[in-house]
Amino acid sequence: MQVNENDKDKVLSWLMKYASGFRNARTRQDVLPYVGFEDRYYRAICSQLKHEGHVASTCSRGTWAIPLCTKDPAEVEAALESYIEMKSKALDMLTGLDRQIKSLEDKKRCITQQAVMTF
């Protein structure tokens, strides 16, 4: 999904103002009425901001802007937890894809062997 840079700036500005730091994390339901985007588009924006390192989120806390300068070890730990959770989800997805690929390769091999045997 293509994300407009102005929309991304709007979301980041809102998060920096009202959800700076993990202690002020907000859920999508709390943010969407103020930024005025549909849920799917907002998630695409947040995804890009996460990959750029401006935003973090966890299932339990919500989404927050990572402060530019912090000496709070809890803040760093929360952001680290967020990125570890994101990595874990990606690895789980890849593992699931590996299973599906293996299953389809097995099916393909069975079909190919049956076709060869019938001749």
For the beta carbon of residue 60, count every other beta carbon within 10 angstroms: 8
* Beta-bridge mates of residue 63: 26, 57
CB 82 within 8 A of CB 25: no
* Beta-bridge mates of residue 58: 62
What tokens were used for 8?
């991304």
Query: pTM here?
Result: 0.74
- Only one residue has tokens 């994300």, namely 3
Helices and strands: H and E segment counts in the chain: 4, 2
pLDDT mean for each 10 residues of the chain (119 residues): 93 94 92 93 94 90 89 90 90 86 89 64
End-to-end CA distance of the chain, in Å?
48
What pLDDT, on a 0 to 100 scale, did the predictor assign at position 110?
A: 86
Q: Name the architecture of domain 5-118.
A: Orthogonal Bundle (1.10)
What tokens were used for 32?
């969407």
